[in-house]
A and B are shown apart, each in its own frame.
Chain A
């Protein structure tokens, strides 16, 4: 059912191709969140307040205003707080170096948006990705 939900999100975003840039960004991140399959209930928090606001009312995703209550963090900046036992996805490639617990990133490089998941970290944190996300897995950091 999760796979179907992921496909549904993908298709609706394609069908309604005139979505705004911000909607497209949110949809890409939705696909990533939904595509992490081994977390039954995701409680998402982000240090990007606008993004957090847009995640609200998204099917399959529950947001929280308090990072301590969250189990899935989407971070745009380096964090000083305790992220133990949380799944961390980042919005800047360099944060993969700064936050060793992060398992993937959505970022701009050479004028293009990119998605990457780091295989050793997926294994270390026992993260299983849906099939559509597998092509973005890389063996190591650049």
Chain B
């Protein structure tokens, strides 16, 4: 007996180098099993990519752009005014893909930006727990206007924070970023409050004796009060002042753009799965642009352009849900009003046609998830949206979505979606007089048919996913460089794209992700293929993260070739003690990231991610 026990203890000792580590592993496994994304993710809502809290921490993802640059089928680029632009495979920078951004349950939709990411790419993520990205035609159950991709940010759960923490970063470009967060719970509610202040500097460029800069300053806050199954309340605001880079002309005289977005959101949960939500969002854009050469604006030229525009977004939502063994049924109505007001529009020799405009949208939607049996799920979604613009004709738009999700075996599963949706032209295309092109009030919705499928093979430690999508677009919204106007393409457009993603978990702390995608289109104005390699590692008190983002060469709409590029990022984190973390991150370390041409001739090519080294100290009370 003694010998058996001795042998057993030896066996145990050999398997487990340290007893303490075992309980740590158990805690780690518990932490991962309790990850918030396991409660919020919705597999039926599309092809899902999750960045868990642990991932974000190892990546040292400070702003949303750190995530955007890794998303397959997209390339993070820079606009002429210094803002970021997430460009879909093969499309140009002037495209306005309907990318949707949510902070918890609020959709941050913009009137004054081509999409919200123009501004929110700069969002500091210190208050964010995890990020879910849905591709392949997002679920109608998310409400709002349909989007091609949905990015959902979920704030940290106060009941798991119970702390106050500060984070301070400086980098090799002399930037500084300071974040603070406090969160916890009382007997009646949970609370979270975060603030962030940053000055972010970039390399500058010279043209016509002017310095071109895209430095920006950011002030940001997020506050929330919640009570589970009772109410949610949130206030969020972000203000950025960005140097205008090349602006609307070629060499601005040190001008900038002020952009502000704020919202207040409240939701009440009632008995029997009723939910009501009200929200108000306000947006401001103030542009000061004076150039050494006249700026082409519409059909005229002006040495300056000053604009001050506000927008208001009101939303009211009522939803009802039925859940039982076979069904998961959701229905809802939403009213949304979006408007803009032009307070200043100062251009020599040009007066805009409209100084204000608005659109009312009435939406009715439903989604049924029907369990055929324990391994097969059928989804059906339908949505009717009635648009009532102030100045133009009303229209009714429809979206339909059919889906089939099946666990084929213990290892194999598949998701298949067939989607009919639309893209309604934005006010930026139809009525706000934009600086560099003419509005087109006659634009009609683009109609999209999308057929997408994903097959997954998963064992205990390995996951391989193969995805494919085919898309047809009628009335595609396209930008005409000569007429300087958006118009509906008369011919039908076709796109194919596929991707493969492999993930291997060495253990609870270490994993590697490899991904490749390729798009097929008639024309390419942005990278057509890309690679992502991510390695997440943990050794003792160290977190190590390696990332390689590759984007292929491409031809611009003005017919010159931009070389392929790769962005290598290395992040090192050290846990000094329970209160203190020290972090070091190198972004675009080889300075070879994919470039964006800022002028039609391609004399100025800029990477979205600046080469820099960031040092960070985080302290928790």
Whole-angstrom distance between the alpha carbons of A106 and B25 in the complex? 15
Check A28 for interface membership: any CB of B closer than 8 A: yes
Check A63 for interface membership: any CB of B closer than 8 A: no
Complex A-B: 17 CB contacts under 8 Å: A4-B9, A7-B12, A10-B16, A17-B29, A20-B33, A24-B26, A94-B162, A107-B162, A108-B161, A109-B160, A110-B163, A111-B31, A111-B161, A113-B27, A113-B34, A115-B27, A132-B23
Q: B573-621: which residues lie under 8 A (CB-CB) from chain A?
A: 620-621
- Taking a contact as CB atoms under 8 Å apart, the answer to whether A110 and B31 are in contact is no
Whole-angstrom distance between the alpha carbons of A135 and B288 in the complex? 59
B22, closest chain A residue (CB): A10
- Taking a contact as CB atoms under 8 Å apart, the answer to whether B33 and A7 are in contact is no
Check A55 for interface membership: any CB of B closer than 8 A: no
- Expressed in whole angstroms, the minimum distance between the Cβ of B218 and any Cβ of chain A is 24
B130, closest chain A residue (CB): A111
Q: A14-31: which residues lie under 8 A (CB-CB) from chain B?
A: 14, 17, 19-21, 24-25, 27-28, 31
The main secondary structure of chain B at its interface with chain A is helix
Q: A79-97: which residues lie under 8 A (CB-CB) from chain B?
A: 93-94
Q: Interface code B1-31, partner A: CB below 8 Å = 1, 0 otherwise? A: 0000100110010011001101101110111
Whole-angstrom distance between the alpha carbons of A15 and B160 in the complex? 27
B34, closest chain A residue (CB): A21
Check A126 for interface membership: any CB of B closer than 8 A: no
Whole-angstrom distance between the alpha carbons of A134 and B29 in the complex? 20
- Residues of B in contact (CB 8 Å), total 30
- Taking a contact as CB atoms under 8 Å apart, the answer to whether B162 and A109 are in contact is yes
Check B165 for interface membership: any CB of A closer than 8 A: yes
- Taking a contact as CB atoms under 8 Å apart, the answer to whether B29 and A24 are in contact is yes
Q: Which B residues are in CB contact (< 8 Å) with A27?
A: 26
- Expressed in whole angstroms, the minimum distance between the Cβ of A53 and any Cβ of chain B is 19
- Taking a contact as CB atoms under 8 Å apart, the answer to whether A111 and B156 are in contact is yes
Q: Which A residues are in CB contact (< 8 Å) with B33?
A: 19-21, 24
Q: Interface code B138-170, partner A: CB below 8 Å = 1, 0 otherwise? A: 000000000000000000110111110100000
Partner of B165, one of A13, A14, A31, A110: A110
B33, closest chain A residue (CB): A21
Q: Which A residues are in CB contact (< 8 Å) with B15?
A: 11
- Expressed in whole angstroms, the minimum distance between the Cβ of B155 and any Cβ of chain A is 11
- Taking a contact as CB atoms under 8 Å apart, the answer to whether A28 and B23 are in contact is yes
Check B53 for interface membership: any CB of A closer than 8 A: yes
Q: Interface code A95-135, partner B: CB below 8 Å = 1, 0 otherwise? A: 00000000000011111111100000000000000011111
- Taking a contact as CB atoms under 8 Å apart, the answer to whether B23 and A133 are in contact is yes
Whole-angstrom distance between the alpha carbons of A27 and B27 in the complex? 10
Check B129 for interface membership: any CB of A closer than 8 A: yes
- Expressed in whole angstroms, the minimum distance between the Cβ of A125 and any Cβ of chain B is 21
- Residues of A in contact (CB 8 Å), total 33
Q: Which B residues are in CB contact (< 8 Å) with A113?
A: 27, 30-31, 34
Binding site for B on A (CB under 8 A): 4, 7, 10-11, 13-14, 17, 19-21, 24-25, 27-28, 31, 93-94, 107-115, 131-136, 142
Q: B32-48: which residues lie under 8 A (CB-CB) from chain A?
A: 33-34
Most buried by A among B9, B23, B165: B23
- Expressed in whole angstroms, the minimum distance between the Cβ of B294 and any Cβ of chain A is 54
Q: Which B residues are in CB contact (< 8 Å) with A10?
A: 16, 19, 22-23, 26
- Taking a contact as CB atoms under 8 Å apart, the answer to whether A132 and B162 are in contact is no
- Taking a contact as CB atoms under 8 Å apart, the answer to whether B22 and A132 are in contact is yes
Whole-angstrom distance between the alpha carbons of A19 and B22 in the complex? 15
Q: Which B residues are in CB contact (< 8 Å) with A19?
A: 29, 33
Contacts A7-B19, A132-B20; A110 near B26 (Cβ below 8 A): no
Partner of B160, one of A17, A20, A108, A135: A108
A-B pairs with lowest CB-CB distance, top 9: A21-B33, A132-B19, A108-B160, A24-B30, A135-B20, A10-B22, A110-B163, A109-B162, A21-B34
Contacts A24-B29, A110-B620, A115-B27; A134 near B162 (Cβ below 8 A): no
Contacts A4-B5, A25-B30; A93 near B162 (Cβ below 8 A): yes
A20, closest chain B residue (CB): B33
Q: Which A residues are in CB contact (< 8 Å) with B34?
A: 21, 113
A31, closest chain B residue (CB): B23
Whole-angstrom distance between the alpha carbons of A21 and B25 in the complex? 14
Q: Which B residues are in CB contact (< 8 Å) with A134?
A: 20
- Taking a contact as CB atoms under 8 Å apart, the answer to whether A28 and B26 are in contact is yes
B38, closest chain A residue (CB): A21
Whole-angstrom distance between the alpha carbons of A94 and B163 in the complex? 11
Whole-angstrom distance between the alpha carbons of A131 and B621 in the complex? 28
Q: Which B residues are in CB contact (< 8 Å) with A94?
A: 162
Given contacts A14-B22, A14-B29, 6 further A-B contacts (CB under 8 A): A4-B9, A7-B16, A17-B29, A28-B23, A28-B30, A31-B26
- Taking a contact as CB atoms under 8 Å apart, the answer to whether B156 and A108 are in contact is no
Most buried by B among A19, A31, A108: A108
- Taking a contact as CB atoms under 8 Å apart, the answer to whether B162 and A28 are in contact is no
Q: Which A residues are in CB contact (< 8 Å) with B27?
A: 28, 112-115
Q: Which B residues are in CB contact (< 8 Å) with A109?
A: 160-163, 620
- Expressed in whole angstroms, the minimum distance between the Cβ of B189 and any Cβ of chain A is 16
Contacts A4-B9, A14-B25, A115-B23; A21 near B30 (Cβ below 8 A): yes
Contacts A4-B9, A20-B33, A132-B19; A111 near B25 (Cβ below 8 A): no
Q: Which A residues are in CB contact (< 8 Å) with B53?
A: 111
Q: Which B residues are in CB contact (< 8 Å) with A131?
A: 19-20
Partner of B26, one of A7, A14, A142: A14
Whole-angstrom distance between the alpha carbons of A76 and B26 in the complex? 21
Most buried by B among A20, A28, A131, A132: A132
Q: Which A residues are in CB contact (< 8 Å) with B22?
A: 7, 10-11, 14, 132
- Expressed in whole angstroms, the minimum distance between the Cβ of B158 and any Cβ of chain A is 10
- Expressed in whole angstroms, the minimum distance between the Cβ of A15 and any Cβ of chain B is 10
- Expressed in whole angstroms, the minimum distance between the Cβ of A90 and any Cβ of chain B is 13
B53, closest chain A residue (CB): A111
- Expressed in whole angstroms, the minimum distance between the Cβ of B226 and any Cβ of chain A is 16
Q: Which A residues are in CB contact (< 8 Å) with B156?
A: 111
- Expressed in whole angstroms, the minimum distance between the Cβ of A29 and any Cβ of chain B is 10
Q: Which A residues are in CB contact (< 8 Å) with B159?
A: 108
Q: Which B residues are in CB contact (< 8 Å) with A7?
A: 12, 16, 19, 22
- Expressed in whole angstroms, the minimum distance between the Cβ of B54 and any Cβ of chain A is 9
Whole-angstrom distance between the alpha carbons of A31 and B29 in the complex? 15
Q: Interface code B162-193, partner A: CB below 8 Å = 1, 0 otherwise? A: 11010000000000000000000000000000
Q: Which A residues are in CB contact (< 8 Å) with B26?
A: 10, 13-14, 24, 27-28, 31
- Expressed in whole angstroms, the minimum distance between the Cβ of A8 and any Cβ of chain B is 9
Q: Which B residues are in CB contact (< 8 Å) with A110?
A: 160-163, 165, 620
- Expressed in whole angstroms, the minimum distance between the Cβ of B493 and any Cβ of chain A is 44
- Taking a contact as CB atoms under 8 Å apart, the answer to whether B160 and A111 are in contact is yes
